[in-house]
Chain A
């Protein structure tokens, strides 16, 4: 039997049995949704429809309905793209990197974090697609022969790398997530009494039976997929950062971008996971599975990655000064003191100062503090991308072209729309899919379950007493 040190906090609270775990996790998807769910779902769906309507308006009228101009050609759209992709990164980090590091606390949160990844990448991928303007020729992105002759896509371009990175990331995450879901769908299937529900979960579970060979392959496949997804997730934000870093725009032309973007992505992604899970554990009664201990572990990741981001901001400033290039000097001076200084200082205070509160154990273990700080971090990370993208382009080499960017209601509406799409999908997920990996959670019950830990502790005490009497 595998025994874990009693000093380690249990990951599953309450005296659970295997059957109880099945009950607890299946309950939210088998019962009826409450009024609160319908209310939030309605709001999310309205936002999503509003966003989709405005996308249609953009297609019909043209990109001119956005606040872009000839100086600032990338602004709100690409800010949203990078923000959403970054949020997605936490899901893969939790399911892949923490699997390779054998972190058992990932098991309660990997399913919903991966779902978040997939929905976030859907929202992200929308922006490059719609910002090309002529969306009906968006297939020109792909390496297919076109009607103008055999002119191919340019594989030297980071924008094309990005297309491959995002498509690979999305499809591999989807496969990884679905394979993990198969045994859990089988668990749900074998509990259903109503024929329709049984039929649906039977199809979703692909006929999984849980025989030895299938489990053996399942574990190996999960391990190899984790091994593939780990460099993949790091490559995705690296390549996103190269969209900027390979240009000559002051403020973008920075070699520190790849690690800085990756750290920022994990930082914002964990913040979003915390925001979602604090609500989800309460609404779905999963507080015994997603514990304060889990949230504390995530907060530790937030404070580490937040500090890396802080160091990166300061490094950027120092290197801009040290470069001796007047354009670089001005780009950073303009960020901190120019017309967008308010955005810069929101970014600085949200991303560098506020997460430092997590050095305190009390703050790390406080639900309210975690919830508020997670939202602060997400706001800060949105502004980080805005600052990088807009302040660098609105005043670059040619002062006669200097101008400001102001978002229109279409910019705002599409952004709100993607938040709506994200929450619509996440709310549907929480009603149909087991939001915690049932099989994986069961596999750690005898090691990290509260009831079992107490049993082994008692066993040790008895052995200790017996020794004492001798």
Chain B
């Protein structure tokens, strides 16, 4: 069983941004907003916390750098130290200048990949997953606000009036498609 929801459809990114602020200030709880492109400031207006993915990326970078240096140290210094052109590999610190390019590349490689996969996993993106946008044109030119009736202690008609006042062009009654 899905939950009863209202889909308020906007036609302009600035309208939905202002509309969100207006409805939020009246204490209306908005479950989700679907947009065809990022609207700046809507996450803040909706009270969505800032993403921590760049902090995570930093730690992936530290991990990448550590793996790179350990690998090169083990292979070229510890396990099989070679003397090439009178330049023996005796310690990591002495060899460090020659190790910097590969250390940099591996750091970037690991950070970029792990951060991207974290993004995909956290945002539930995977080949074959079903999309959740309740209106198909939310990926084209419509900006859709999803309000669950149970979240709000307001009568349906009052809620609809408030949404229209917030400049929504169209309202659809719908059932929530995904489990929360």
Chain A residues close to B by CB (< 8 Å): 1, 17-19, 22, 143, 150-156, 158, 160-161, 164-165, 167-168, 171-172, 175-176, 179, 182-183, 186-187, 189-191, 202-221, 223-225, 228-229, 231-232, 235, 239, 242, 438-440, 442-443, 446
Contact = CB atoms under 8 A, between A and B. Distances in A.
A442 B36 CA distance: 8
Interface in B16-68: 32-39, 42-43, 46, 48, 50-51, 53-54, 57
B38 A218 contact: yes
Interface in B121-180: 122-133, 136-141
B129 to A, nearest CB: 3
A190 B136 contact: yes
Contact of A156 (B35, B98, B104): B98
B75 A172 contact: no
A207 B113 contact: no
B125 A182 contact: yes
Given A217-B51, A224-B115, A210 B105 contact: no
Given A190-B133, A206-B120, 14 more contacts: A18-B141, A161-B101, A171-B109, A179-B116, A189-B139, A202-B130, A211-B132, A212-B43, A213-B48, A215-B39, A216-B43, A221-B119, A442-B36, A442-B37
A150 B105 CA distance: 24
B106 A168 contact: yes
B72 A155 contact: yes
A223 B38 CA distance: 13
A79 to B, nearest CB: 23
A206 B32 contact: no
A225 B112 contact: yes
Contacts of A164: 101-102, 105-106, 109
A161 B106 CA distance: 10
A214 B123 contact: yes
B1 interface: no
B84 A156 contact: yes
10 cross-chain pairs, A with B, having the tightest CB-CB distances, nearest first:
A207-B129, A18-B141, A152-B75, A206-B125, A209-B133, A439-B37, A164-B105, A209-B132, A19-B141, A161-B101
A218 B38 CA distance: 9
A235 B54 contact: no
Nearest to A239: B101
B149 to A, nearest CB: 19
A205 to B, nearest CB: 7
Contacts of B75: 143, 152-153, 155
A187 B139 contact: yes
Nearest to A232: B108
B73 to A, nearest CB: 9
Interface of B: 13-14, 32-39, 42-43, 46, 48, 50-51, 53-54, 57, 71-72, 75-76, 79-80, 82, 84, 87, 89, 95, 98-99, 101-102, 104-106, 108-109, 111-113, 115-116, 119-120, 122-133, 136-141
A216 B128 contact: no
B130 to A, nearest CB: 6
B108 A172 contact: yes
Contacts of B42: 212
A206 B120 CA distance: 9
B127 A210 contact: no
30 contacts: A18-B141, A19-B140, A19-B141, A151-B80, A154-B82, A164-B101, A167-B105, A189-B139, A202-B128, A203-B127, A206-B127, A207-B126, A208-B139, A209-B34, A210-B133, A210-B138, A212-B32, A213-B43, A213-B48, A213-B123, A214-B123, A217-B51, A217-B123, A220-B51, A224-B54, A228-B108, A228-B112, A231-B108, A439-B37, A443-B38
B116 A225 contact: yes
A105 B115 CA distance: 27
B54 to A, nearest CB: 5
A224 B36 CA distance: 22
Contacts of B57: 224
B37 A190 contact: no
B139 A206 contact: no
